[in-house]
Amino acid sequence: MSRVRALVLALPLAATAAAGAAIDTSKSGTYESGDWAYAFTIRAKGSRSERRHGELRFEGWAVEKLMEVKLYDKVKTPWGLMQFFGPKARYNSGWLPKTTYDHPLRMEGRLLPTPKPGAAAEAVKRPVEVTFSGGDRTVEARCGQTIRVSLPGNPTTGFTWVLKKTKGDSVTQEGKLAFQKSPAAEGAVGVGGMFVATFKAAKQGQTIFLMEYKRPWEKKDPARACVVRFEIAASPQDQPEAK
């Protein structure tokens, strides 16, 4: 049995179809074939509010995390050609074999190379890059991955980012916060840039960090703040085989 079966069965959809079965776009369902897994959701079928969403995985990884994927890109799967319609949204989203009301796929987009065995193990070696300046964020990674969080700021003003772990131990901070100055003309002063915090995904679970942009010696509220939730899943080689 494929090592992705346990992941597929955990998805809150209808029934799981047999390997190699065609995608039934009349209802929600989950499918698996070798290292591939697909979860299809359809809501309000036939109405003006019909919504379709598809999650496509290879070796347990979302395909859009295995390679660079742009809107309307396509990839060949055991169930035929699928097209990427972006993150979960109001109507078509994710990977779909057909669009709303069973219309054909769009003409736009590139045909991506089909993932090869070992693609997930290679993906673990690539760092997760995240850039933002405030608000709450969820960052997903696999055990063993490096995560680099870039936060804009300007140390010449006395401000810096202060990181406070509030819960969990699935990630560890690697080294101190580093500052990378933005390109500027020679001799320019007061130039801002990016504060970069590096983390290592150590084990499965959630870790929460509170990040505040402030002058450390001041007691007043920070100029900006954000909560980052690190969601760490098992690496491909750690995925147990289902019995």
DSSP collapsed to 3 states, 46-102: CCCCCEEEEEEEECCEEHHHHCCCCCCCEEEECCEEEEECCCCCCCEEEEECCEHHH
- pLDDT of the residue at 125: 87
User: Of 102, 120, 138, which residue sits at a domain end?
Assistant: 120
How far apart CA 220 and CA 91 sit, in angstroms, is: 44
Its pTM stands at: 0.66
For the chain, what is the domain count?
A: 2
Looking at the fold, whether 36 and 77 belong to one and the same domain comes out as: yes
How many CA atoms lie within 13 Å of 188's alpha carbon, on the beta-carbon side?
A: 10
Farthest CA pair distance, the chain: 66
Query: Do residues 227 and 197 touch, judged by C-beta distance below 8 A?
Result: no
Q: Residue 134: which of 223, 195, 199, 200 has the closest Cα?
A: 223
The pLDDT profile of the chain, 243 residues, written as one tens digit per residue, is: 444 444 433 444 344 444 556 899 999 999 999 999 999 999 998 898 899 999 999 998 899 988 889 999 999 999 999 999 998 877 899 999 999 999 999 999 999 999 999 998 888 888 999 998 778 999 988 899 999 999 999 999 999 999 999 999 999 999 999 999 888 756 667 788 999 999 999 999 999 999 999 999 999 999 999 999 999 988 765 655 444
Looking at the fold, whether 68 and 171 belong to one and the same domain comes out as: no
Instruction: Confirm whether 243 is domain-assigned.
Output: no
Instruction: Confirm whether 18 is domain-assigned.
Output: yes
Full domain range(s) for residue 228: 127-238
Looking at the fold, whether 181 and 164 belong to one and the same domain comes out as: yes
User: Of 120, 145, 179, which residue sits at a domain end?
Assistant: 120
- pLDDT of the residue at 242: 44
How far apart CA 212 and CA 158 sit, in angstroms, is: 13
